[in-house]
Chains A and B, each alone.
Chain A
């Protein structure tokens, strides 16, 4: 019986192995290969690629920048998204459906289109600067710099923060907050001691999703960075497409992946204490 149930998962397993695990192993393999000026890689294996990434301050700085973008995006998404998620979870307004659609709207168009939308808004002669101009301000440089990239990252990944948190809050009995109030907790204290820990599973999912997605974002930093902003993904693509340096590109990609993985694991461990008894 157990074997037969297993067999249902086989097609999915096959796809995962074929299209996810094999390519990943290939990247791992590639990262240990020798570079070649004429081919994808030269014969033999080396750890030189890793030594270069981990000792060159250029690449370490790049890694730091990328993770900082991800961290900033995640923090802003959490700060902006939590109130929205809370409202959506608890409101009985008849506009709820519309609000929900609004939250999902960033997912309804392709990321490239959305980036061009932001370019229209943020450009030196864009809508926002024109409006500021009317008030006698600016123009401010809002894109082709970290500001523009962060704005677009937040916009695109915000739903991934809101939706899991909303789900978590929906499963928290509103009576719990009231019980805390009757027991002498002020509103903020009831929030910190009751609602926040109980929405932690949603916050954890949202934080991980947004962090991972924004650390690996390519199109947004490319389009809104306009070549002025470099992150690990943009440099990886440069290595592969421009320099044809596949082994080094693979190494950069893996270093980013592993760093993100380590941070996510660390976050999980830190969270375990808070999550105790929850879910």
Chain B
């Protein structure tokens, strides 16, 4: 069985790249191939110029953090962290110094002699991180490291891991199914579905200019607007839909007259009372107060219901007809 196919990815030195996708999309398999824990049936894996495809894990100079942390239960925190150093021949005072340093970095001083089971989830997580980076690997691999933490700790650890990574300047591959996690932490995101890469790009690219409807839906909410291309040039397409006409960005040439789908985020739509120079009008079906914004469901002329998130502002409309305006630079033509 093939879990992953046609994964072609180039990670720059010092870069933080997330593999993002739903469970079973092959992101973990990809990571395990890079780690040398699984052997790909085809293709090559290069670290710099060096082909490591058939190189056993222990010679790859990597550090890996597992979802379950995989701390050695029969070793203390110090022994866990020192394990990688010992395996790589760093012993004695030098090893002690580096262990002390990394304990400092992950703020675990004083817990050296504890066994993993006597630590909280967050502390175990930091031991796992310390263990992975102490030998200064050329590549850090993280497999859903935050999945077992509670929400508050998870937020903290996102920033912690990111700043640690930047401080060490270590090239990092991060597997997650949490889109906000990947957005916050990554230089670039690789979105995977069904064993294939759908898009590679920086967080803004992925969010504002998704390659496919799957990507658009997986990364946050998206309204899908169907219509016919009226004209397209200079990366801007004008689309004629049943309820009106709008423009959106595009990176591909489209022929006038072809039927396409465009994506627009709920917060890229603006509402106004009455009909000013707006693109089209709709009727409010429902309105929910989310705290920072109102979430509207708005039915368009042809029955399409779209989601709009709008700031309160002065006298936010509660019902009836509203006019809707699309931020042209935030609407995007899908493949």
Instruction: Give A residues with C-beta under 8 Å from B.
Output: 173, 175-176, 178-187, 189, 193-194, 197-198, 276-278
Docked-complex contact B135 and A176, CB < 8 angstroms = no
Output the least CB separation between A177 and chain B (Å). 9
Residue in B56, B61, B75, B132 whose CB lies within 8 Å of A181: B56
Question: Which residues on B sit within 8 Å (CB–CB) of A278?
Answer: 73-74
Give Cα distance in the complex from A187 to B37, angstroms.
12
Docked-complex contact B75 and A179, CB < 8 angstroms = no
CB-CB contacts below 8 Å: B84-105 with A? 84, 87-88
Q: For A198, give the chain B residue with the smallest CB separation.
A: B74
CB-CB contacts below 8 Å: B127-143 with A? 131-132, 135, 141
Q: How large is the interface on B (under 10, 10 to 19, 20 to 34, 35 or more residues)?
A: 20 to 34
- Can you list 15 A-B pairs with a CB-CB distance of less than 8 A? A176-B70, A178-B57, A178-B64, A179-B70, A180-B87, A181-B36, A182-B63, A183-B131, A184-B58, A184-B59, A184-B61, A184-B87, A189-B87, A197-B74, A277-B76
Q: For A180, give the chain B residue with the smallest CB separation.
A: B83
Q: For B66, give the chain A residue with the smallest CB separation.
A: A175
B243 within 8 A of A: no
Output the least CB separation between A234 and chain B (Å). 42
Give Cα distance in the complex from A194 to B59, angstroms.
18
Question: Which residues on A sit within 8 Å (CB–CB) of B59?
Answer: 184
Give Cα distance in the complex from A180 to B73, angstroms.
12
Question: Which residues on B sit within 8 Å (CB–CB) of A180?
Answer: 72, 83, 87
B269 within 8 A of A: no
Output the least CB separation between A276 and chain B (Å). 7
Give Cα distance in the complex from A16 to B236, angstroms.
89
* Chain B interface, >50% SS class: loop
Not counting A182-B132, A277-B75, a sample of 5 additional A-B residue pairs whose C-beta atoms are within 8 angstroms of each other reads A175-B68, A179-B64, A189-B87, A198-B73, A276-B74
Output the least CB separation between B85 and chain A (Å). 9
Instruction: Give B residues with C-beta under 8 Å from A.
Output: 35-37, 56-64, 66, 68, 70-76, 83-84, 87-88, 115, 131-132, 135, 141
Docked-complex contact B37 and A185, CB < 8 angstroms = no
Docked-complex contact A185 and B87, CB < 8 angstroms = yes
Q: For A174, give the chain B residue with the smallest CB separation.
A: B70
Q: For B143, give the chain A residue with the smallest CB separation.
A: A175
Docked-complex contact B37 and A183, CB < 8 angstroms = no
Output the least CB separation between A165 and chain B (Å). 16
Docked-complex contact A175 and B70, CB < 8 angstroms = yes
Question: Which residues on A sit within 8 Å (CB–CB) of B60?
Answer: 182
Give Cα distance in the complex from A32 to B36, angstroms.
67
Question: Which residues on A sit within 8 Å (CB–CB) of B76?
Answer: 277
Output the least CB separation between A201 and chain B (Å). 10
Give Cα distance in the complex from A114 to B87, angstroms.
48
Q: For B128, give the chain A residue with the smallest CB separation.
A: A179
Give Cα distance in the complex from A180 to B87, angstroms.
9
Give Cα distance in the complex from A185 to B66, angstroms.
17
Output the least CB separation between A238 and chain B (Å). 47
Give Cα distance in the complex from A176 to B66, angstroms.
9
Output the least CB separation between B171 and chain A (Å). 15
Question: Which residues on A sit within 8 Å (CB–CB) of B73?
Answer: 176, 198, 277-278
Give Cα distance in the complex from A175 to B131, angstroms.
14
Interface pairs A-B: 10 shortest CB-CB: A184-B87, A183-B84, A175-B70, A179-B70, A277-B74, A181-B57, A182-B64, A278-B74, A184-B88, A185-B87
Residue in A173, A176, A185, A277 whose CB lies within 8 Å of B58: A185
Output the least CB separation between B32 and chain A (Å). 8
Question: Which residues on A sit within 8 Å (CB–CB) of B61?
Answer: 184
Give Cα distance in the complex from A112 to B6, angstroms.
62
